[in-house]
C-alpha cells in the first residue's frame, strides 16, 4: 500500500506495532501517524487522546473512532 507522507520536514519511522509515524527531525516530537483502522496518514490532532496509546493517542483516528458496529461497540476495540 502506498503511504501518503507529510511534508519532507518530517522523518517517517515505523513502530513495533507496524504503525507508520512521522516526527519532527529537530524536536523528535511525533507530529503525524497512520490510523490502524483506515490506514490513512493523519496529523496527531486528528486522534483522540489516550494515555496508553502510541504518542499518547488512540490507534484509530477520530473519524474511525466515531464508527461503531450495530452493537454499539467501537469497531477497532
Ligand atoms: Zn482512521
pLDDT in tens, the chain (77 residues): 556 655 557 899 998 888 899 999 889 999 999 998 899 999 999 999 998 888 999 998 999 888 766 666 766 54
Q: How far is the CA of 14 from the centre of ligand 1 (A)?
A: 17
Q: How far is the CA of 20 from the centre of ligand 1 (A)?
A: 13
Q: How far is the CA of 52 from the centre of ligand 1 (A)?
A: 18
Cell of 23: 516526527
- Give the dihedral sign, CA 34/40/41/47: negative
Parallel, antiparallel or unpaired: strands 10-14 and 30-34: unpaired
Q: How far is the CA of 57 from the centre of ligand 1 (A)?
A: 12
| CB of 28 closer than 8 Å to CB of 42 | no
Q: Give the domain ranges of the chain.
A: 10-65
Q: How far is the CA of 39 from the centre of ligand 1 (A)?
A: 6
Amino acid at each position: 500500500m502506498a503511504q501518503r507522507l507529510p511534508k519532507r520536514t518530517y522523518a517517517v519511522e515505523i513502530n513495533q506495532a507496524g504503525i507508520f509515524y512521522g516526527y519532527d527531525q529537530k524536536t523528535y516530537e511525533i507530529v503525524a501517524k497512520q490510523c490502524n483502522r483506515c490506514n490513512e496518514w493523519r496529523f496527531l490532532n486528528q486522534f483522540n487522546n489516550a494515555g496508553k496509546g502510541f504518542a499518547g493517542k488512540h490507534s484509530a483516528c477520530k473519524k474511525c473512532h466515531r464508527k461503531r458496529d450495530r452493537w454499539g461497540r467501537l469497531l477497532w476495540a
